[in-house]
Amino acid sequence: MSKHILVTGANGQLGLELRELSSYFPNYGFTFITRDELDLSNASAISAWFANKTFDVIINCAAYTAVDKAETEAELAFAINTTAVQTLAQIAKQQGISMLHISTDYVFAGDSCKPYQETDATCPQGVYGQSKLDGELAMLAINPDHSVIIRTSWVYSSFGNNFVKTMVHLGKERKELSVIYDQVGAPTSAKDLALVLLMIIDSPQLQSQRGTEIYHYSNEGVCSWYDFALAIFKAAPIRCKVKPIETKDYPTPAKRPHYSLLNKAKIKNTFELTIPYWRDSLPECLEQIKYLKGDSL
């Protein structure tokens, strides 16, 4: 096998997509670990787990992603999103291996009027975003070679909990839903992102890269959560009226970015990517949800 790859967060959306795709990459040997097998909130436990193990690549999909709960569980959020990333980066540096780490658009203030570039100033608006940014900074300080940080946004999948599955569930139960229209971003298919990660691993661009680079990735296009909900119901299809509301009409403990578009020029140019349009990737996810449930939407 050409590479032995460790995937953390194996039961999350991205981890499960990587597991599904793993059979199509026979040259890779995969090890998938969940939070039950490795407690990423415990730095000493991480180091102990790696004591007699070696890999060629670490794909860190694990994260504390409960944005609102993070406001009251800051210690746990920073342990997983910052300290664990620091520990994994130190291991990658010591072993001379690559590390691919997933970050978020929440590192930005969300008040821009043009897509965020990797070099734009960060300004998290809550505990979740700050813990993810601090994880990035820790990894960049350690700077393991042939490693990348990928910021993404609005991730969805047929696995786990996400906006698409919530809309499908609620849309079948209710006649009308209110959905925010003044938050703008780009949905990201976890499967599309997983394929990009697997492509990057063997790319000559990564192998020649020294240190750690930041890239932005989401599907192409732009929409609001309201637009996204309409597209989901149309593609499913589900008969449910969608009422547009403002953010102020749906208060949450954590502040959400009003603008989450990411400029993807760097990752497209570096790795010669063609990124799918979000509306083209959505139907495949809906079909998979239908398949997994064993019934019609």
**Residue-by-residue DSSP string for 41-64:** T-HHHHHHHTTT---SEEEE----
Least Cα distance to 89 among 219, 212, 263 occurs for 212
Total count of domains within the chain = 1
**DSSP alpha helix (H) spans, the chain:** 13-21, 43-49, 74-78, 84-95, 127-142, 163-173, 190-201, 204-208, 225-235, 265-271, 278-293
249, part of any domain: no
Say which range, 41-55, 75-89, 172-186, 208-222, has the weakest mean pLDDT.
41-55
180, part of any domain: no
Q: Give catalytic residues, as residue numbers.
A: 128
Asked whether residue 27 carries a pLDDT value surpassing 70, the answer given is: yes
| CATH of residue 272 | 3.40.50.720
Domain range holding 26?
Answer: 3-161+188-221+258-276
Output Rg (C-alpha) for the chain, integer angstroms.
19
- Per-residue pLDDT of 230-268, as tens digits, reads 999 999 999 999 999 999 999 999 999 999 999 999 999
CB 107 within 8 A of CB 124: yes
282, part of any domain: no
State the pLDDT confidence band at 291, using cuts at 50, 70 and 90.
confident
What gap in Å lies between CA 45 and CA 297, rounded to an integer? 43
57, part of any domain: yes
pLDDT, position 2: 80
Provide the whole-model pTM. 0.95
286, part of any domain: no
- Per-residue pLDDT of 42-86, as tens digits, reads 999 999 999 989 999 999 999 999 999 999 999 999 999 999 999
242, part of any domain: no
Residue given tokens 């990587």 in the structure block = 18
What gap in Å lies between CA 240 and CA 169, rounded to an integer? 11
Residue given tokens 């083209």 in the structure block = 280
Residue given tokens 């821009």 in the structure block = 112
Asked whether residue 296 carries a pLDDT value surpassing 60, the answer given is: no
Residue given tokens 């800051």 in the structure block = 74
285, part of any domain: no
- Per-residue pLDDT of 219-235, as tens digits, reads 999 999 999 999 999 99
228, part of any domain: no
